[in-house]
Each structure stands twice: as structure tokens, then as C-alpha cells.
Structure 1
Amino acid sequence: MVRRLRRRGIFLSIFFYPYSAKGRLRHLGFFIFGMIDHQKRKAKKESSLTGKTLLVVHTGGPKKRFTLQRLKKLGVTLVMLNKEKNWAENYVDHWILADTNNHSECLNAIKSFFKINRDVVVDGALTFWEESVLLTSKIIDRFNFIGIPYSVSKNIRNKYLFRETCATYGLPVPRHQLIQSEAALSALGEDMPFPLVLKPIYGSSSAFVVKVENKEELMESYRYAKSQFYTHEDCHEWEDLSMMVEEYIDGDEVDMDILVQNGKIKFYSISDNYQTREPFFVETGQAIPSSLPEQDQRALIEMAEETLEKVGVQNGCIHFEAKSTKRGPVPIEVNLRMGGDEVYSFVKGAWGVDLIEYAAKVACGIYSKVEKPAVPKKYIVGEYFLADNSGVLSELDIPDTIEKQQYVEEFHFYKEIGDPIFIPPDGYDYLGWLTVSGENSIDAEDNMESIRKRVSYKVAKFASDSSIGKTLRGTRFSSAVLKKNLIVKASKQERFRRIALKNQRGLRVGILGNGADSNHAPEEQEIAFVASEAQKTLQKIGYATSFFDLNDPEKAFHDIKASSVDLIFNLAERVHGSGALEPQAAAMLDILQIPYTGSDSFSLALCMDKIRMKKILSYHSIPTPKWDYVYDLDDDVDKEMEFPLIVKPANSDNSIGITKDSVVTSAHQLKKQIRFILEELKNPVLIEEFIAGDEYDVSILGNDRDDLRVLPLSRYVYHMPEGGWSVCSYEMKWENHPVYNYKHITIQRPVKNISKRLEALITEISLDTYRILGCRDYGRVELRVDKDGNPFVIEINPNPCLNPDSSTVLTAKVMGMEYGDVLEEIIRVAIRRYNREKA
């Protein structure tokens, strides 16, 4: 001790100070205790998150607000990687804005942020959002943070690969098989006995997970999931849309919430899951601590520890789902982030352990010793508020005294009167959740029962001619009261739905489009011309019309809201001059609850994003040219694709970015075009094997099978001079180019000299494409046919040009339909669609 004090210059100040020997010893004691206290304070400071900076990946929805609130209270500086600024703005210190589905874009955005903000030193990265787990791992790898490497997370996030990895290491695993086609289902053998569980290999919250009892149910469930994947709000964040089947495991389901640091489990908690609602595995509730026998709990955590060690998880806050069976514990799923909903409050209430705090400490490399009490502080149970059927929340009564009860831990009710509720297979809504505590498990369950009886609600099935959905609570705890403006909006839609087709010319039609003058680009003038011609034609045949210019979206919004129009004919292709925002026009009309023609915002956005569109078409086995995509100059291009290739922007329309140089025949030309699109056009790149054959347009009107109408095909036969490629480039559409112009194309309407088989095949592929991508009322599919007679879908336009000389209108003319007839037919099929939606 004296030697250490001497090194600190303290020895002399004590032993040569004019005190007695006894006094010097007393002062030495003071110094020693002071040093110990100083070291304790220093250790506490070093283990604190105050002053640390965390990169959080994806805000999640508003239900994740509590995670950011807690981090801010812990003194953390938050850097948020998200697609856009949102509800989290009050908690975030620095934003990094990038598309979290585009991992290369995110990594580059982070790199740029670090370069510009050299004073911001990030100590770690984590996510609370399941769909961002893989991106977070890539960030951890790239920037050398502490966490779970991508090489590990990809084998866990993918449920099929997780099963395969477990099998490789001799861990317990149910029998399973990857399913990528109906043929694979038909080929299932006796080694996969029913009941089975069908599930996506990605996804969360039990979406599209279903228990099936026989092959008929299996096939039906598979077909349904394939057709409905794209309707799920998180589908675009899934890496792959493949599915798998696995053995149904009967047993007691548990959740294990685990903190692991440097390969050592620092804390674990086991909670029991109540019996799910099968066949869709809808969660109903849970209880903490687990009531399973001690030996079963010990076996579960030993299995979890072995699993995490063998699959390579060394650091993180883990939500581990498993079942305790007669054959022993079996892993079901591992989430490489903190559990959602009630998990945080469950663990905090029962054990006093703050998972948000310790997850952040692990990410920042702060060594943590977690003190878990020998007995729980509380016994807690939780239940979800669920509906028995899809419909509208029509009644709700929540006494305002509920949250004042001492044993109520958390109460959340997310829905309001009039909100639509969808239960599987229609959707995956739950209305809210409640957790209560007690001195023991029986006490907690009794408290839950007393609260649950005091919350009453009714979800009424949709019915015509009712006031369901037209009421609203005065406060969040009071009974429902009638809300006048909702009835007014509902009556507008009801009037539109009820109108007889013979009286449709009595409708007041608004034209939503874009104005332009001679100073605008030629494609902008074309868009304006379409809206002008449509309005004049509809007026001429008897409709009362109004024009709303979406170049000023705020004015258009308020004008439409204040108007008396019954229907909007949506011809808008720009918002604030941006074609990328075209889908927002339909979204605005949905917000206003105004009936409109054409596809909704989801389908418009999906078809505009050619990369996502290609993924979905490939999944559904729709033939498209062999393709790849690039978000970054460093991205590799599939070397198996053969030249010539066509290189084009992935998110543009009107041939923007498609030029005479778009078809490339060498790696040098390919790199040059990729650089042009990435750097000049600021757009992702789609690369396809170039199909040099004839091009076909297939225009479609209608919605359901009994209402769909395929117009006569259009065929474009190219006769390009030497050196010219058969491609409809920007120069051909909008400029007077000597080579790329329409005099080198023969247009056939109707087509000539093609076989009935090819014509039928093109038609059937186009109809499938139209339906798969959710198009409504009208659209146009573009295909190419190679030298061997094989058709390939190039793209689909859910909002094709409708000027009098457009492909859709001219092919309709072959059938004897004039321009006004086409516009009226689109209005007619829209009316029928709204009538069916009402029914």
C-alpha cells in the first residue's frame, strides 16, 4: 500500500506532515478509504451509459417509443438509422436517413455520417426491430462494433437455416423441409407426418404461420400465403419469401429472455406462454416467472445456452422461444434482439432487471454483472385483447379507474371505435394488452380476471346499411359517441356504391392530374395533356367534372376535401414534380376516403420499384429475363448473365434513364452505365439479359376473374438500322433522334401472324402478373418474346397513359370502343369494385 501511495505522491504528504505518529496513521486511514471510495465511483462511472452514443437501427412503430425514452433517461446520445424522420424525432440526437431495406445504401450513409460528423463517436449499435437484425449485423461487421456477426445472424434469422444449423451441431430440432413450390408439397413423404406447421422462413409475429392437418389444408394454406404475402406491412423487409414445413411440436411453450456477454449468460428469465389460438398460433397471454418444474426450467436454459454457444452468439439481448416436451426441450425460434410488447416490463417487474439498459451496455462493451434476486419481486400475468372475428370495433367501454389499480402494471388499448380489425387469415390485429401483478401466481391471475371483466368491447362483422364504424369515444376511457363527420364521409362512399350503372353519368367526377406548360419537359406536357383530354371528353358526354392539380398537393388536398365530387379519376403521375411520389396520390385519396379509379398506393409503389416487382414475379414463377440489381458501385453483378445486357434505373418511368447506350456488350460498358445511373440519376440499377425480339403490350380492364377484360394485343416489330438496338429509349419517345425513332418500328393492332398458343400464353401470363401485383381497374403489361417464342414480362404499368393515341386506347378502338367509352368503362369497373367491397 505504501509503495502504491508513494507512486501517487501521497506518501510524503502524509508521513512528513507535522502530525504525531498516531495522527499520521489516522490520516493514512482517511486517505485509504478515500481512495477506495474514489475507485468505486470511478467503476460506477465506467459502467454507466451516461455520455455513451448508440447507433439504433430502425425506429420501429410508435409502440417502440418506450425503448428510446428509456435510453434517453440513461443519458445515451442516440444516432438513428431510419428511412425517414418520424414520431421519434424528440428522442433522436442525430439522424442517418437511408432505406433500411437497402443495406448497401445504409452502410454508405453511416460511413458518410462518420466522415462528416467526426466529433460524434459511436460506442455501439443495436436494434429493437426484428426486420433490421440482419442489417444491424452487417453494420457491426463493417464498423467493428460489439454484437452478433452477419455470418451468425443469417443462420438464425432464416428459420430454415436455423433448423439446419441446429441439426449440424446435434441440437434438438423438429423434422423440417424447405418449400419453394407446390411440387415440393406434393412430394412430402411419410417422414413428415401430419399435423405440420407451415411458415415463412422470414417474418415475425406469427404472420402466415399455420397448423395444417392434411395435404389439402397444406396446399390451400400455401396458395393463400403465396397470394397474400405482399399485403403484409413488413413483407418488403423480408429477405426471402420462401416457406418451410416442420413437425408440429406439442408441449409447454416458453419465452427465455437472455443477456449474454463474451459468450457467458449473465442473466436469464423464463416466462410461460398461454395456449395459442390454433391453427394460426395467435398469442393469447403469458406469465412470469415460469410455473414449470425446476428440472424442466434447468433443462430449458441448458439447451438455450448450448444452442447459443454452438451457433455462435457471443453478445446480445436474446429472446429465445422454445417448448418443453416429453422428449426434452426444443428450440422454436431465436430473436436476436429484445423481445417486444410486454417483455421489457415483465422482466423489469419480476426481476428488477432492465433489459434496455443491459442490451445497450453489452452493445457498448460495458462489462456487466447482473444481480438476479433469488425470488421474484412480483408475479405477473399478461393477456392480449383479441377479436373473435374480423370486422369493425363498434363498442368499447374502459373504466377510467383501471390504470389506477395498484396491481395493474401496464394497460394498452390501441384501437378506437370505427377501426377495422382483421384476424387470421384476413390479418394479424390485436386490440391491445394488459399486464397485472400479484404476490403469487394465483393472486396475479385473480387480479387479471377482475380487470378483464371490466373491459368490454365488441367487434361487429361488416354489414351494409349500418352505422358501424361511424362512432368515436369522447375520451379513451368513455363509451362511444356518434361522430358526424365520419357519417358524412361514409355517406359519400355509400352513395357512390349504390349508384346504378345506368345513372353513372350523374356522378360528379374529379380529375386528379398534373398541369404543365411549354416550359416543362415533353413527358410532363404529355401527362398534363392526358388530364386535359380526359376532362374535356367526360364533360362532353355528360359528366360534371373538376380538375385538381397535384403539382400543388396541399391545395389539391384541401380542394378535394371541400369538394362535392363522388369519384376521383386518378391520372396523377407526379407529386411536387417527382414521379417517385406518384403512389402518394392514391394514398392521399385513401386518407380522404374518396372513391377513385385505378390501383392503390401499395400496388403503384410495388410496380414502380422494379427490383421488388421482379422478386415477387420470380417467386410466383412468372417468366422474366435473367436479372440482377445494384445499389452500390461495389456490388457484384451475377457473372452467369450473358451479354448483351440492358441497364436501366430501377425506379423510374417514361423511359427516363433508358438511352441508346443502355444496351451493353462488355464489362466496361456495363460499369459505365451502372455508374451513370447511380451517380447521375441517383437511382438503383436493374440489369437484365437483353431480349432482342418483338415487344407486346397487353392492356387489361377490370378486377375479378368474371370482370377482367384483356384488350387486343399490341405488337412492336423493330427494324433498327445497323448499330441500333431494339429498345424504346428516351430519345425515341421524346426526341427526334435519327436512329431511335418510331419510323423503325412496325406496330400491329391487332397482332398478325402469331400462333394461338403464343397469344394465349402471353394473355395468361399478363393476367397472372396483373393479379399478383394487385392492380385495379386497368393496367398494361409489357412483354418481349425471344427468338424461340418464349415470352418474358418486362414490366407492368398500373397507371398507363390514357391519351387518345395511347396503346391502351388504340387497342380498345380495335374492339369498337371510342376514347370516351374507355374512360367510362374504367369508371364502371371502379363502381363494381366498390360495390363488391361493400358486400
Structure 2
Amino acid sequence: MKKVAVLYQYKVTPIKNGIQKPMKPGGYSDSGADIAVELHKSGVSIITPFDKPDLNNDLDWVFPDTKQGIQLAIDKGANVLWLNTILYNEHPIIHFFNSSIKFVGQSPNLVDTYDDKWITNQLLTANDISIPKTQFISKKEVTNFKLTIDFPLVLKPLRGRGSQGVSVVQNKENLDFKLTELFSTNLYGDSAYVEQFLSGQEITVTVMPPGNYKINSKNQAFVKPWSLPAVKRVNHQNGIAPYNGVVAVIENSKVLNQDELNAKNIIEACKQCEKAAMLLQIKAPIRIDCRADKKGNYFLFDLNLKPNMTGPSRLHRQDQDSLTLLAARAIGWNYFDLLNNMLLQQW
């Protein structure tokens, strides 16, 4: 019998090559609790830190992703660990890789490598996947680098989270100011990059890993990564989709209609996203953001290996559909269906 414990991020991840990934306040304990409550409501055996968890208290439903926290979950009977956290090569979870424990989520080495957006972009480019023009900028060269891309540009941290630290810059003076601001915070390390600003429509594509799924009460097997219907983003702020901790995604996002989904450029964008997922050999859903140029051609500009999995499992969280859940609803899944299908891909 599956006995599931959900993990959350207890502390900031280690600095790697001078690059720091910022930590979400609460370490995804909010979405972790959403997941645990929804599975519990639907009859899945959920292991929690407390015998009578409070629906209003996120931390009553999730375990910290420390060695002690993971061991406590296992001691309480968990045999499936849901990795709703940020992983890295030396993450404590590696001490629990054995035949008796199953996992939902990515492998730590995959996340450690490709959470670096510059490395990811190099992989995509090498495999003929369309990305915007990009340029690497380090802190030590911030006063004397030569731009190879025209304005406007998008400035991004190498290991960012959501839209944090991301800004559109219109000229060199503005870029210099934003770079100084970015590096002075010490939140994102000593490297960043800029990319070509694309003025067309933005979409988000969730790609599911290969495996066996239940869709409309039927079993379906996928031998390759496959995508849920694309979601378009609207109501950008200064050219950037706002962080969902500030604006709920249901307020600025909706699934494309069938005519839009059948358009050649959308079909091609989804194929490129699936190709990227296949290169990464994903074990759980990833979310890929794409944006079109003036001609309507889409470019992949952000691969998120830990997409948000919030959902309306509790009364005070009814507006918390994630982008992935919006897409899942378009194929007939509710929140439990999405989570249950993720659970079926345990490894």
C-alpha cells in the first residue's frame, strides 16, 4: 500500500559556482500541504508530522527535506516521498535511494545541472531547439562587457525562481542600473544573462514524463514525454508575467481554445517542448515558458524543473490553481486526477 509523505524545502540551497537560487518563503510548504490534503481527501494514505493536522497550517502536512525530516517520515510509515522541493546533487534525499522507497519528482542531478538557465540554453541550442538570442554577463565584467543583442532585452538570474529578479531593459543606462541592483542584493550570485525581448504572445507548456496514465477513465501509455494543452499568459507587468505569489495565475492565464491549439506554430512549440523534456529525461512534470516573435514563431525561454503544484484543496486556497492544473483541466482532470497521475509515475 502506498503511504505518501510530502517534503518541502527547509533551507536555502547551497551556492554553486557563485550562483545562488533564492528560496520561496515557506519552501513550497503551501503547495505541499495542498497536495497532501487533496490526496488525503481522495483516500490516499498520507503520512503527516502530526496525528491531527490542521487544514489551515501548511507545516502540519509536510516534512522538511532534511535528513532528520525525511527519516521521520519513513519512521512514521512513508514508503513514497513526494519531492515538492528544490533538489541538488548533495540533497539529503540521496541517502534514502534504495529499493524500499519510491519517489515522485525529478532526480537531484538533473535539477542540479539544468536549473542553471545558461547550461540549459546551451543544451537546447545544440539540439536545434529555438531559444531567444542570449548573452552571459558576470559581475566582474559588468563595467566593460560589449552587448551582442539589440535592445529591448530581458535581464535574468542564472538560477532564478519565477519572475523574481527578471526585468525588461530598454537601453544601456537602464541595463547598467539593473545589473548593479541585481548583483548588489547577493540573492542571485555573481552571474546573470540577458536575452532578446520577444513581443509576441506568451504560452506555458506543461510536459509530462513517459509512463502509464488514466485519462477519461481509460489507461493510456506514453513512451515519450507529452504535453498538456498550452496556457496563454496575459496582463503582463512591464513586459513580464507577474510572480504567482503576487497575482494568482487564474487571473492572468487561460488555456488556448481548440482553434488556437491546432495552429501550426503552437503545435511546433509543443513539439519543441517535448523534445527538450526528452533530452532531460524527466521523471515528473516540467513547465516550459515560450514566447513568440513578431512573425508568430515561438522560442523556449524558461524551463522550470519544479513547476508549482498548488491547488484548491482547502477553503482558503480556492483561487490557487497552478498553470499545470489549468492545463490538466482541459483534458478532463481535476486536481486529484493530476496528482494521482503524477503519483502513478513514481520511481
TM range (shorter): 0.7 to 0.9
Unaligned runs of 5+ in 1: 1-505, 574-581, 835-839
Distance 2:229 2:150 in 1: 33
Residues 770 and 781 of structure 1 are in contact (CA less than 8 Å); yes or no, is this contact kept in structure 2? no
Q: Deviations over 1:528-586 (max 9, x none)?
A: 2211111111112222112465647142133145343221111124xxxxxxxx3358x
Q: Which residue of 2 aligns with 1:557?
A: 70
1:822 to 298, 321, 338: 338
Which is bigger in relative contact order (C-alpha 8 A, separation at least 6)? Answer: 2
Distance 1:583 1:522, change over 3 A: closer
8 A contact 1:700–1:708 mirrored in 2? yes
Contact 2:233 2:241 in 1 (8 A): no
Q: Matches of 2:130 and 2:48 in 1, distance apart?
A: 40
The alpha carbon displacement at 1:746 in A equals 5.3
Q: Which residue in the other structure is 2:125 paired with?
A: 618
Deviation per residue, 1:49-68 (Å, 9 max, x gap): xxxxxxxxxxxxxxxxxxxx
State which of 224, 231, 244 in structure 2 corresponds to 1:714.
Answer: 231
Q: Select 1:747's aligned residue among 226, 247, 253.
A: 253
Change (3 A) 1:621 1:637: farther
Q: Which residue of 24, 27, 32 corresponds with 1:531?
A: 32
Contact 1:633 1:675 in 2 (8 A): no
Which residues in structure 2 correspond to 1:40-59 (within 5 Å)?
A: none
Tell me what 1:590 maps to.
Answer: 94
Could you list the per-position Cα deviations for residues 780-804 of structure 1 after superposition, in whole angstroms to 9, with x for gaps in the alignment? 1111111101111111112211112
On the 8 A contact 2:47/2:73 being kept in 1, the answer is no
Change (3 A) 1:748 1:557: closer
CA contact (8 A) 2:160 2:188 kept: no
1:524, distance to aligned residue in structure 2 (A): 2.4
Q: What is the distance in 2 between the residues matched to 1:507 and 1:554?
A: 21
The answer to whether the Cα contact below 8 Å between 1:598 and 1:798 also exists between their aligned partners in 2 is no
| SS of match in other structure, 1:565 | coil
Matched residue, 1:700 = 207
Q: In the TM superposition, what are the counterparts of 1:131-146 in structure 2 within 5 Å?
A: none
Alignment of structure 1 residues 53-68 onto 2, 5 Å: none
Aligned partner of 1:809 in structure 2 is 325
| Partner residue, 1:650 | 158
The amino acid of 1:778's aligned partner reads P
Shift of 1:508: 1.0
1:605 partner SS: helix
Q: Which residue of 1 aligns with 2:84?
A: 571
Q: What is the CA–CA distance in structure 1 between the aligned matches of 2:146 and 2:328, rounded to whole Å?
A: 40
SS in structure 1 of the partner of residue 163 of structure 2: coil
State the Cα distance separating 1:689 from its structure 2 match: 1.0
Structure 2 residue runs without a partner (length 5+): 12-21, 50-61, 212-221, 312-320
Alpha-carbon distance in 1 for matches of 2:82, 2:171: 45
Secondary structure of the 2:28 match is helix
Question: Which residue of 2 is the match for residue 727 of structure 1?
Answer: 240
Q: Which residue of 2 aligns with 1:401?
A: none
Classify 1:604/1:751 alpha carbon distance in 2 versus 1 (closer, same or farther; 3 Å).
Answer: farther
Aligned length: 299
Per-residue CA deviation, residues 806-833 of structure 1 (Å, 9 max, x unaligned), is: 0111211111111111111011122xxx
Corresponding position of 2:5: 510
Residue 641 of structure 1, CA deviation: 0.3
Q: Which amino acid aligns with 1:679?
A: S
Counterparts of 2:36 and 2:246, CA distance in 1: 27
Shift of 1:644: 0.2
Inter-partner Cα distance in structure 1 for 2:44 and 2:252? 37
Structure 1 residues 551, 510: closer, same or farther in 2, change over 3 A? closer
Question: In angstroms, what is the RMSD of aligned CA positions?
Answer: 2.8
- The residue number in structure 2 matching 1:773 is 280
Deviation at 1:742, TM superposition (A): 7.5
Give, in whole Å, the separation in 2 of the partners of 1:591 and 1:526: 21
TM-score with structure 1 setting the length: 0.33
User: Residues 750-782 of structure 1: CA distance to partner in whole angstroms, max 9, x if unpaired?
Assistant: 346535311210111000111112321211111
Alignment correspondent of 2:181: 676
Q: 1:515 to 1:624 in 2, by over 3 A?
A: same
Aligned residue for 2:327, secondary structure, equals: helix
Distance 1:558 1:746, change over 3 A: closer
Question: Could you say if the C-alpha distance between residues 623 and 637 of structure 1 is closer, same or farther in structure 2, counting changes exceeding 3 Å?
Answer: farther
Where in structure 2 are the equivalents of 1:756-795 lying within 5 Å?
Answer: 756-795=263-302
8 Å contact from structure 2 (residues 134, 149) kept in 1: yes
Change in CA separation of 1:686 and 1:522 when aligned onto 2, cut-off 3 Å: closer
Deviation, structure 1 residue 523: 4.7
Amino acid at match of 1:557: I
Q: How many percent identity over aligned positions?
A: 18
Distance 1:637 1:703, change over 3 A: farther
**Counterpart contact for 2:110–2:280, Cα < 8 Å:** yes
- Is the CA contact 2:206–2:286 (under 8 Å) kept in the aligned structure 1? yes
> Whole-Å Cα distance in 1 between the matches of residues 164 and 83 of structure 2?
22
Aligned partner of 2:59 in structure 1 is none
TM-score by length of 2: 0.77
Structure 2 residue aligned with 1:151:
none
CA distance in 2, matches of 1:561, 1:802: 23
Q: How does 1:92-103 map onto structure 2 within 5 Å?
A: none
Relative distance call for 1:589 and 1:653 in structure 2 (3 A) is same
- 1:164-563 mapped onto 2 (5 Å cutoff): 506-514=1-9, 523-525=24-26, 527-547=28-48, 551=64, 553-563=66-76
Q: Is the 8 A contact 2:205 2:270 kept in 1?
A: yes
Contact preservation (8 Å) 1:628, 1:686: yes
- Indicate the SS of the match to 2:281: coil
Letter of the 2:117 counterpart = K
Shift of 1:638: 5.0
Rg (Cα) greater in structure: 1
For 1:515 and 1:603, the matched residues in 2 are separated by 20
Which has the larger share of helix? 1
User: Would the alpha carbon gap of residues 735 and 589 (structure 1) be closer, same or farther in structure 2, given more than 3 Å must change?
Assistant: closer
Determine whether 1:608 maps to 2:125: no
2:216 aligns to what?
none
State the one-letter code of the partner of 2:255: R
Counterpart Cα distance in 2 of 1:698 and 1:613: 17
